[in-house]
């Protein structure tokens, strides 16, 4: 460091002004020595108080479950650390905690797409797979917790995309069953649009703003057309005729206004509001929309179905959250027990009943009493079992950014879909080459 | 430390407090007061150092250390993935100036795009804000009924936090938002494109034109009324009065306001981030780029971009201050003194106006 003090002070003043000190601080743990490259089987030692770190608990159910645990384990209390609601800030705080090797966070609630990144950086511990009832869980959900065949995160809740549709309008137009293919959906739309009350409605929307939702919708389109983004060995495989058919569905739908022009700015909430305001006949969204739409003007006038695809039912992208164990935490034995408790079928039932969180357990979807409360459960189960996880790669942040860039260019007509997929294949190859 | 050092020095200066209780004492403190005066320079220097040292210590910890870390970090690359184990290596490779030279090669497109966006926003928003701000100040300066109400309402946007006004404008620029209703056609403001740039400019001008208005108003209030009276007697038109009297006399305050705004605009982050979103090429600024790199665990390039942004801000500020000094004096001598004076006036006035 040859910079003179005076200059450094000037530097720092301007940097502080630029609000970028975070960058500098976050890096401080960068050059420390990590653990040995070989992941030795962890012996989960230590009992005592731990922390559970997750996004804001809007339903109050998480705290209830933790209170239950704390009552039964007064010497191994769990503190609930609430992070901001949006996933990006949660990820950032967890990374900062890991980079500083802090033991403040013990059990992390991770998004299903973070597993590879967190595991590759050794921020989270490999877990003993035989100690969790993974066999009773839906298989695609369990897969999201694995990195290179080893379990790093246990499913706590799941999520899958559903097709919301207007039953009243479809019935009036003489359509009795929800569409299972894209062609059927556009045909049904054409019939509905002939009705006077559907004159100003648009046919279909999902999430096409340039953010994670676009990656989800693109992945769904590609998977529903029989394509894939990365193959089983993790190599990009997106420059294929199947993937092109999937992307073309979106591009053409924008062109012929099956998808309204403004949907390019839609996130989950925008789409939900448009659907509730009666502007859309079909909407692709998460199950949370169900209970909210029941409270809106279209109460009783809509239903859900699995997503349509090219030649039959489509494939959803998996959502949901897993539990992982921070590598730098203390009291790992307690943590393991707490994870078992938190991801148990009992807790999952509680979360389903009180927070309408989709459980990872298969048999909960078939319970008749729950189906009465949540009529979409059978469809959701089908959606999740057929779901494909988004690319499980270490540099997920860069991969999703590349997908968003190319797909957005195709949707807005800046690139042909063939060119976009070709460029995307090149980008992804570079990102996964290491 | 400072506490123990102060009493011996300060006590003699406050005879007034002790005097009422012990009337016979007052002359006593006066004598020792004279002798220290010759030593005062050394003593004062030491006291000053003592008093300033906590500040310097804090600055070192919260400013100097992180800055040096950032400079150091910018010389390291990103950790690589070991294909055999599937784990990221524990240490970052030293790459020297590669993070800096990369902006001319592989990472260049995104960097220069962010650089030009930053420049575009700075030039466009600050120019618009200056014109509108001066207009606002002239209105606020006028004597009319309900002036305080107008002043207060003009200042409202400046009082709203940027993040909140970002959300506010996000609603306005929504596909079904009020902006499109007023325009009578659908402009997709929050999509990635030129309209997004315009949306950011509008929101930023709305928010910060009052700031310039405020500082200019402070400048306007120190102009003596007699100057205008004399001008009117000489038959100067309103426009002439504005160009020949108002503008030159308000210039010091205006230049400071513009400088502040320039520095602020160069590090713009929250408004485009919230209003339009991350990774939107059309509005990505250098701050957003650095944040994005850091959030993808590439601290080396992120630090390098932050340092480059600092240099950019520093150069602009330097150029500005030089120009400002030259302009103010119209000569070379005594630049320093006038400069600091020019900076101080509006600040003091700001408080008065705000109160």
Task: Describe the crossing of helices A87-99 and B286-295 by its angle, rounded to 10 degrees.
Answer: 60
Which residue ranges in chain B fall short of pLDDT 70? 1-40, 107, 325-355
Give the pLDDT confidence score for residue A199 in this predicted structure.
87
Nearest CA among A33, A24, A19 for reference residue B73:
A24
Angle, helix B108-141 to helix B147-159, in steps of 10 degrees? 170
Please identify among residues 86-105 of chain A the ones whose CB lies closer than 8 Å to any CB of chain B: 88, 91-92, 95, 99
The pair of structure tokens assigned to B122 is 């700075």
What DSSP string runs through B164-175?
HHHHHHHHHTST
Q: What is the pLDDT of residue B345?
A: 40
> At a CB cut-off of 8 Å and minimum separation 6, what does B125 contact?
B201, B204, B205, B208, B261, B265
Q: For position B40, what pLDDT does the model report?
A: 59
Rounded Cα–Cα distance for residues B316 and B295 (Å): 28
User: How far is the alpha carbon of A357 from chain B, nearest alpha carbon, in Å?
Assistant: 28
Q: Is A233 on the interface with B (CB under 8 A)?
A: no
Which secondary structure element, helix H or strand E, spans residue B270, and what is its range? helix B270-275
B72 membership: H or E segment, kind and range: helix B65-73
Tell the residue number behind the tokens 């009297």, with chain if given. Answer: B245
Chain B positions touching A415 (Cβ under 8 A) are none
* Shortest distance, CA B207 to any CA of chain A (angstroms): 19
**A20 part of contact set with chain B, CB < 8 Å:** yes
Q: Does B87 touch chain A (CB under 8 A)?
A: yes
User: Please, which residues 226-285 of chain B have a Cβ atom closer than 8 Å to chain A?
Assistant: 263, 266-267, 269, 277-281
A-facing residues of B in 204-223 (CB < 8 A) are none
Q: Are A123 and A333 in contact (CB under 8 A)?
A: no
Contact A15 B297 (CB under 8 A): no
Mark yes or no for CB contact A121/B66 under 8 Å.
no
Selecting from B63, B76, B296 the residue whose C-beta is nearest the C-beta of A398 gives B296
Angle between helix axes A61-72 and A332-342 (nearest 10 degrees) is 130
**Distance of alpha carbon B131 from alpha carbon A129, whole angstroms:** 66
CA distance to partner chain B, nearest, from residue A354 (Å): 31
The upper half-sphere exposure of residue A286, i.e. CA atoms within 13 Å in the direction of its Cβ, equals 17
A164 alpha-carbon distance from chain centroid: 19
Q: Is the dihedral of CA A179, A184, A187, A189 positive or negative?
A: positive
**A188-A193-A194-A200 Cα dihedral, nearest 10 degrees:** 170
Under 8 Å between Cβ of A114 and A91: yes
pLDDT of amino acid A434: 59
Q: How many CB pairs under 8 A join A and B?
A: 178
Report residue A134 as tokens: 């993974």
CA gap A317, A224 in Å, rounded: 10
Tell me how close the Cα of B278 comes to any Cα of chain A, in angstroms: 8
- Separation CA B354–CA A404 (nearest Å): 46
d(CA A216, CA A315): 11
Helix (H, G, I), strand (E, B) or coil at B317: helix
Buried b / exposed e over A17-46, threshold 16 CB at 10 Å, is: bbebbbbbbbbbbbbeebeeeebeeeebee
Per the CB < 8 Å rule, is A18 touching B306?
yes
What is the DSSP secondary structure assignment for residue B11, as one 8-state letter? G
Residue-by-residue pLDDT tens, chain A, 434 positions = 333 334 444 434 444 444 433 333 333 333 333 333 344 455 788 999 999 999 998 888 999 999 999 999 999 999 999 999 888 889 999 999 999 999 999 999 999 999 999 999 999 999 999 999 999 999 999 999 999 999 999 999 999 999 999 999 999 999 999 999 999 999 999 999 999 999 889 999 999 999 999 999 999 999 999 999 998 888 999 999 999 999 999 999 999 999 999 999 999 999 999 999 999 999 999 998 998 898 899 999 999 999 999 999 999 999 999 999 999 999 999 999 999 999 999 999 999 988 888 999 999 998 888 888 888 999 999 999 999 989 989 999 999 999 999 999 999 999 999 999 999 999 999 988 75
Question: Which residue is listed with tokens 């030129």?
Answer: B194
Rounded Cα–Cα distance for residues B127 and B156 (Å): 21
Go through chain B and tell me how many residues it has: 355
| HSE value, Cβ hemisphere, 13 Å, CA-based, for B215 | 26
Rounded-to-integer distance, Cα B290 and Cα B286, Å: 6
Whole-angstrom distance, CA of residue A297 vs CA of residue A196: 19
At B113, is the secondary structure helix, strand, or coil?
helix
B160 has a chain A CB within 8 A of its CB: no
Chain A 23-42, residues with CB within 8 Å of chain B CB atoms: 23-28, 30-35, 37-39
The contacts of residue A350 (CB under 8 Å, 6+ apart) are A61, A64, A65
Contact B175 A28 (CB under 8 A): no
Res A126: pLDDT: 95
How many other C-beta atoms can be found within 10 angstroms of the C-beta atom of residue A430?
14
Q: Which of B80, B192, B299 sits opposite A26 (nearest CB)?
A: B299
Asked if A14's CB is within 8 angstroms of B313's CB, the reply is yes
């Amino acid at each position: 460091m040859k910079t003179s003090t005076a200059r450094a002070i000037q530097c720092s003043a301007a940097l502080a002004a630029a609000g970028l000190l975070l960058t500098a601080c976050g890096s401080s743990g960068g050059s420390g020595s990590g653990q040995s490259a070989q992941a030795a089987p962890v012996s989960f030692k230590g009992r005592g108080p731990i922390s559970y770190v997750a996004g804001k608990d809007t339903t109050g159910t998480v705290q209830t479950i933790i209170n239950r645990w704390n009552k039964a384990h007064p010497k191994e209390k769990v503190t609930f650390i609430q992070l901001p609601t949006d996933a990006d800030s949660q990820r950032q705080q967890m990374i900062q905690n890991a980079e500083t090797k802090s033991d403040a966070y013990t059990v992390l609630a991770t998004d299903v797409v973070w597993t590879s990144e967190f595991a590759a950086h050794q921020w989270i511990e490999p877990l003993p797979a035989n100690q969790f009832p993974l066999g009773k869980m839906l298989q695609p959900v369990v897969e999201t917790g694995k990195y290179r065949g080893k379990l790093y995160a246990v499913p706590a809740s799941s999520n899958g995309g559903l097709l919301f549709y207007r039953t009243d309008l479809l019935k009036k137009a003489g359509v009795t069953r929800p569409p299972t293919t894209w062609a059927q959906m556009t045909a049904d739309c054409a019939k509905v649009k002939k009705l006077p009350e559907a004159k100003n409605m648009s046919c279909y929307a999902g999430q096409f703003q340039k953010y994670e939702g676009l990656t989800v919708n693109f992945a769904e389109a590609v998977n529903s057309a029989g394509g894939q983004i990365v193959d089983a060995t993790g190599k990009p495989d997106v420059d294929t005729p199947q993937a092109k058919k999937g992307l073309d569905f979106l591009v053409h739908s924008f062109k012929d206004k099956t998808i309204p022009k403004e949907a390019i700015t839609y996130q989950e909430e925008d789409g939900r509001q448009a659907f509730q305001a009666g502007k859309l006949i079909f909407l692709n969204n998460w199950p949370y929309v169900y209970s909210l739409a029941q409270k809106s003007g279209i109460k009783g006038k809509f239903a859900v179905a699995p997503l349509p695809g090219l030649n039959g039912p489509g494939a959803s992208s998996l959502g949901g959250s897993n539990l992982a164990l921070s590598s730098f935490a203390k009291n790992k034995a307690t943590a393991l027990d707490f994870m078992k408790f938190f991801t148990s079928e009992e807790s999952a039932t509680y979360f389903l009943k009180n927070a309408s969180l989709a459980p990872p357990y298969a048999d909960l979807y078939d319970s008749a009493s729950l189906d009465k409360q949540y009529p979409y459960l059978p469809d959701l189960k089908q959606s999740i079992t057929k779901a494909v996880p988004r690319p499980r790669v270490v540099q997920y942040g860069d991969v999703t950014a590349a997908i968003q860039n190319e797909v957005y260019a195709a949707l807005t007509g800046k690139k042909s879909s063939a060119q976009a997929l070709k460029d995307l294949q090149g980008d992804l190859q570079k990102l996964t080459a290491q | 430390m400072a506490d123990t050092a102060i009493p011996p020095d300060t006590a003699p200066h406050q005879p007034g407090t002790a005097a009422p209780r012990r009337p016979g004492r007052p002359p006593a403190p006066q004598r020792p007061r004279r002798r220290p005066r010759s030593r005062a320079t050394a003593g004062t220097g030491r006291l000053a150092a003592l008093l300033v040292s906590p500040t310097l210590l804090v600055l070192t910890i919260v400013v100097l250390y992180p800055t040096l870390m950032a400079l150091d970090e910018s010389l390291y690359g990103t950790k690589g993935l070991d294909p055999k184990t599937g784990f990221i290596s524990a240490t970052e490779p030293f790459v020297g100036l590669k993070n800096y030279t990369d902006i001319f090669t592989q990472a260049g497109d995104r960097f220069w795009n962010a650089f030009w966006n930053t420049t575009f926003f700075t030039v466009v928003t600050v120019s618009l804000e200056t014109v509108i701000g001066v207009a606002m100040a002239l209105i606020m300066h006028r004597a009319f009924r309900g002036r305080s109400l107008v002043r207060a309402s003009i200042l409202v946007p400046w009082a709203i936090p940027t993040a909140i006004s970002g959300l506010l404008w996000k609603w306005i620029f929504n596909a079904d938002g009020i902006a499109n209703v007023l325009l009578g056609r659908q402009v997709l403001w929050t999509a990635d494109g030129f309209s997004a740039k315009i949306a950011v400019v509008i929101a930023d001008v709305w928010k910060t034109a009052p700031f310039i208005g405020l500082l200019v108003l402070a400048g306007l209030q120190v102009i003596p009324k007699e100057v205008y009276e004399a001008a009117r007697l000489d038959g100067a038109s309103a426009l002439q009065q504005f160009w020949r009297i108002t503008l030159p006399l308000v210039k010091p305050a205006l230049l400071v306001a513009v400088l502040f705004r320039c520095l602020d605009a160069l590090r713009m982050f929250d408004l485009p981030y919230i209003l339009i979103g991350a990774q939107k090429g059309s509005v990505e600024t250098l701050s957003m780029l650095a944040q994005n790199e850091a959030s993808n665990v590439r601290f080396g390039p992120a630090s390098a971009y932050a340092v480059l942004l600092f240099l950019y801000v520093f150069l602009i500020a330097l150029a500005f201050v030089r120009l400002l000094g030259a302009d103010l004096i119209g000569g070379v001598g005594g630049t320093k003194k006038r400069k600091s004076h020019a900076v101080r006036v509006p600040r003091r006035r700001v408080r008065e106006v705000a109160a």
